[in-house]
Amino acid sequence: MPLRKEDKVKKRVACLYRVSTKNQVDVSKNDIPMQKTACHEFAERQGWIITEEHSEKGVSGFKTSANNRDAIQDLKKSALNGEFDILLVFMFDRIGRIDDETPFVVEWFTKHGIEVWSVSEGEQRFDNHVDKLTNYIRFWQASGESAKTSMRIKTRMQQLVTEGCYTGGVTPFGYKLIKKGRVNKKGTECYDLAIEETEAEYVRLVFEKTIRDGYGSHRLAELLNKQGVKTHNGAKFQCNTILRILRNRIYTGHYTSRDFVSPKIKELEIISDELFEKAQYILEQRSAKNDKKREISRTTKGQTLLAGNIYCKSCGNRIISSIYTDRYVRKNGELTETKKNRYICYQKSHKLCECQGQSAYIADKIDTAVIATIRDMFIRIKDKPQTVALEKKVQSRKRTLNSEKKKLLAELDKSNKQLEKLQLEIVNSLAGDSDFTTKDLSSAMKTVESKVAGIESRIAEIDTEIEQQSNAISKIGSMYGDFLGWANEFDNATLEQKKMIVCQLIKRVEINKGYEIHIEFNMDYEQFCLDWAG
């Protein structure tokens, strides 16, 4: 006896709803409810029953593979277990927009006995080659639309950044969201950033401790957590939270989007560009990829002055610091123990190379000698006005360049006269009135011409460098500011601050037997320091 219509088993439906919330904050609030309502109404008209629903928020169907989407994987498991008969979506692009993957995801469901339906486009079948081609073309078009949409959004974001507009996203620590009357193209009032002064003070503290005291991200996180400071999510600070603060250019008053940087917005500036660049240098130095050429120590917790930039003169390897216990017996027979710091050539002490230097050096002797050298240099710099310092720096280099140029011009004049004589001699050779062949004279001319070209090239380089001297004054001023600041604070600075001054000023300290010490300054400061040597 055939079943009556009302006795037929209703087909079970699994619904999939998806919306990518990135760059669509205003749309996503209503998009999934709209898809859900449409799917429910469609299923009811077809006489189907919805047995399970899967929602994806913030998932890109264009960038995220089906293998990495939990909803798709859960639907596949349910399909294999025979838990539904129909996969229903509002539009087929909700399944995905990857042209070389999504068509085969749809086909996978149909091969496992699942009908795939769209509220807007009907059923996707695979009865013949035309169906397969239609399926592929649909997702190829969807992929192209996603690429175009992504490009439009990217371009618009770059335009907004260039115009100095806030483009959304997580509110950086140190700022709050306020409305200033700016509206979007839909007429909705937009949020803008403003400094939250209490948090801004902690941002300044993070940069100051990084640059002046050499604090690492872990140490900074501990410092803020001990003071009870919380992130915008109410969580404790972690290393990565601190690193995001240190690397975010927004604190200098610039919005950024990839390679695009907005003009400076003074009302958003928490730290200067100079401080930001100094922090980036320290982070770069401490990264694992720079370990071999690192000049700044990974931490300033130790009790020695030099760390990261001290080397063995004999073998060239980096020297490490350690603590040892000095034991001696007093006259009264009492054993006394004192903990002291020392520098050790690891390669020598562990017999890893043929090092002819010492295995260990008393740290205090090395540190005292380096401090004395730096203090003497600071004393000489401190007493000179900045204008005198800058003038001496620029004029000294100009005198050197002009002196070299004068010699080159004299040599150029001499070479040009020699070239004229050779040219005249070629005429005599062709007339048979010369002792030299034209071949010999031609070879000599090429040599002189090459020499002339080299002299002219060097003169052009000198002219360019002389012109650049005036433009370099701002950089020299920054260097002088560093030196003057270090000179004023060095004697009263903490050991941590002294370490940071030394590692920024000194590129390399080499030590050898008998406590022979050689100091090499960083390139930017070396010539600057020599200008005050006399």
**Helix, strand or coil, per DSSP, at residue 337:** strand
Kind plus residue range of the DSSP H or E element containing 397: helix 386-430
CATH topology of domain 175-290: Hect, E3 ligase catalytic domain fold (3.90.1750)
The CA distance from 343 to 366, in Å, is: 9
Model-wide pTM > 0.85 = no
Yes or no: say if 223 and 236 are a contact pair by the CB < 8 Å rule.
Answer: no
Please write the tens of the pLDDT for every residue from 165-177.
676 778 999 999 9
Report, in this order, helix, strand and coil percent for the chain, each rounded to 5: 55, 15, 30
Contacts 24+ apart (CB under 8 A), 524-532: 524/479, 525/479, 525/483, 527/397, 528/393, 528/476, 528/479, 528/480, 528/483, 529/377, 531/389, 531/392, 531/393, 531/396, 532/377, 532/380, 532/381, 532/384, 532/389, 532/392
Of the candidates 529, 515, 522, the one whose C-alpha atom is nearest the C-alpha of residue 367 is 515
E strand intervals along 355-478: 360-362
139's tokens: 């997702």
Residues contacting residue 372 through CB under 8 Å, at least 6 positions apart:
none
269 φ, ψ (degrees, to nearest 5): -80, 120
List the CATH code of the domain at 386-520.
1.10.287
Yes or no: say if 174 and 203 are a contact pair by the CB < 8 Å rule.
Answer: yes
Kind plus residue range of the DSSP H or E element containing 124: strand 122-124
241's tokens: 């939270």
**Helix, strand or coil, per DSSP, at residue 263:** coil
370, amino acid identity: V
The CA distance from 225 to 235, in Å, is: 9
322's tokens: 């350690």
**Helix, strand or coil, per DSSP, at residue 517:** strand
Per-residue confidence (pLDDT) for residue 116, from 0 to 100? 92
Please state at what angle helix 197-212 crosses helix 239-247, rounded to 10 degrees. Answer: 90
Of the candidates 494, 520, 498, 490, the one whose C-alpha atom is nearest the C-alpha of residue 310 is 520
**Helix, strand or coil, per DSSP, at residue 273:** helix
Parse the chain into domains and list their residue ranges. Answer: 5-160, 175-290, 386-520
Yes or no: say if 354 and 345 are a contact pair by the CB < 8 Å rule.
Answer: no
422's tokens: 């050779």
Residue ranges in 163-266 assigned as alpha helix (H):
197-212, 217-226, 239-247
Yes or no: say if 396 and 466 are a contact pair by the CB < 8 Å rule.
Answer: no
Yes or no: say if 523 and 316 are a contact pair by the CB < 8 Å rule.
Answer: no
Please write the tens of the pLDDT for every residue from 75-127.
999 999 999 999 999 888 888 877 778 788 888 999 999 999 999 888 888 87
Residue 82's region, left for phi above 0, alpha for psi from -120 to 50, else beta, is: left
Residue with tokens 């004029």: 395
Yes or no: say if 256 and 246 are a contact pair by the CB < 8 Å rule.
Answer: no
Of the candidates 499, 501, 519, the one whose C-alpha atom is nearest the C-alpha of residue 509 is 519
Distances (CA, A) of 203 to 31, 172, 175: 38, 10, 10
Per-residue confidence (pLDDT) for residue 154, from 0 to 100? 55
Residue with tokens 């002490």: 349
Please write the tens of the pLDDT for every residue from 226-267.
999 999 999 999 999 999 999 999 999 988 876 677 788 888
List the CATH code of the domain at 5-160.
3.40.50.1390
Yes or no: say if 94 and 16 are a contact pair by the CB < 8 Å rule.
Answer: yes
Q: Which residues of the chain have pLDDT under 70?
A: 1-8, 21-30, 61-62, 139, 141-165, 167, 185-186, 258-259, 288-300, 382-391, 393, 469-479, 523-534
Torsion of CA 377, 383, 387, 391, to 10 degrees: -50
- CA–CA–CA angle 137, 141, 145 (5° rounding): 170
Per-residue confidence (pLDDT) for residue 301, from 0 to 100? 72
Yes or no: say if 390 and 476 are a contact pair by the CB < 8 Å rule.
Answer: yes
The CA distance from 390 to 396, in Å, is: 10
387, amino acid identity: T
Residues contacting residue 189 through CB under 8 Å, at least 6 positions apart:
179, 181, 182, 183
